[in-house]
Amino acid sequence: MKIIGIRQAAILAGGQGIRLRPFTLTLPKPMIPIHGKPFLEYIIELLKKNSIEEVIIMTGYLHKKIEDYFKDGQKFGLKIKYSFSPVEDETGTRIKKAKKFLDGTFLLLYADNYWPLQLDQLFKFYKKMDTQGLATVYSNIDNYTKNNILVNDKGLVEIYDKTRQTPGLNGVDIGFFVLNKKIFNLFPQENFSFEKVILPQLVSKKQLAGFLTNHKYYGLSNLERIPVIEKFLKPKKIILLDRDGVIDEKPPKAEYVKNWSEFKFLPGTIEALKLLNKKGYQIIIISNQAGIGRGVMTEEDLKEIHRKFLEACAKESINIVGIYYCPHNWDEGCFCRKPKPGMLFKAAADHSFDLTKAIFIGDDERDKQAGQAANCPTILLQQGRDLLAIIRDLV
């Protein structure tokens, strides 16, 4: 059981419906089916995984469809209550009407955004910042959308701009908040927007922390994004593998595999890769290759090694879906060189998978640090346990 300090989540599930083709039924956004179940169900499962015990769903448009499906939450292993609000009520008013249900500290989510929540880390940062609120902010490293927020180097939100026009913004609010009930002192009497009225007040009072994350979020802002969400939420098994020392023999320190003749598969590697494919795993290689940055080999040399490697795998009916490498020297400060997690995030974005549900296998402390930075479960090879032994235990 995680120790997270928050037992309750409130979900804003109101708003307008959306018409799906070829369906003629108009649905509230949270009920859009993704692989046979409503989008909101994935969020409920995510909350359960993070040890949330009670969920308050703030309903509005076609609220009965949500209530009839989720009922009291027993089916999903937690308690669910509902706070109904007319469609014309804005987000702040919906939260205000749910006040009587809420704990002193609670998690607030928008029901049309999915993000691989790690609540223990979120709450730890919230406690450290000692603010009335925390906003989760996607770093937008892939320019997924336009930024609307600026988090300063102290971890405080300095600017929140719903119009997204202010220069220098460095992230996107993704609708995952940790809030103290003290914020209700800021709520006006009239119908109001939480984003337009309360967030700017918290920012001006230096009471809104910004938790920056490189984990991409997936939102139902429009129909065009549904295929992207479907691809991400489709069940899949992903194995990330370091190269030198895991797949092939690791050269001595400060030396590199510079050509295919120097590449030697470690014993059991081919069998391990075959077994992963047989069990339905997608295999992705994550490798530092500083020999390029140090000038002892070229990027073309590396591409030729990888071309030969893929050919050797293909002859054994092994499919490798991606190879990611960092060509930079250790002192260049790039985000892709392990122990930094850039290659893992790039692979996850390219192949639409959740790093928290993947497995990374390496042989070096830098692999472990990169995995931890990406919230990806990581296994290090130890003396006497090669890749094949680890894979046999996994599958």
For 142, the token pair is 């892939």
Catalytic: which of 89, 112, 173, 242?
242
According to DSSP H, which parts of 155-215 are helical?
A: 199-204
Instruction: Give the separation between CA 395 and CA 383, rounded to whole angstroms.
Output: 21
- List the one residue out of 17, 35, 16 whose CA is nearest residue 27: 17
User: How far lies 169's CA from each of 131, 160, 299, 324, 394, in Å?
Assistant: 21, 9, 34, 29, 43
113 contacts 175 by C-beta, under 8 angstroms? yes
- 3-state class (DSSP) for residue 45: helix
C-beta atoms surrounding 117 within 10 Å: 22
Q: Is the peptide bond before 22 cis (omega within 30 degrees of 0)?
A: yes
Give the C-alpha distances (Å, rounded to integers) separating 48 from 2, 54, 235.
11, 9, 18
Q: Which of 112, 244, 364, 367 is catalytic?
A: 244
* 8 Å CB contact between 159 and 144: no
- Contacts of residue 256, defined as CB under 8 A and 6 or more positions apart, other chains included, come to 289, 290, 291, 296, 297
Specify whether 244 is catalytic. Answer: yes
| Residue 182 CB partners (closer than 8 Å, separation 6+) | 132
Catalytic residues: 242, 244
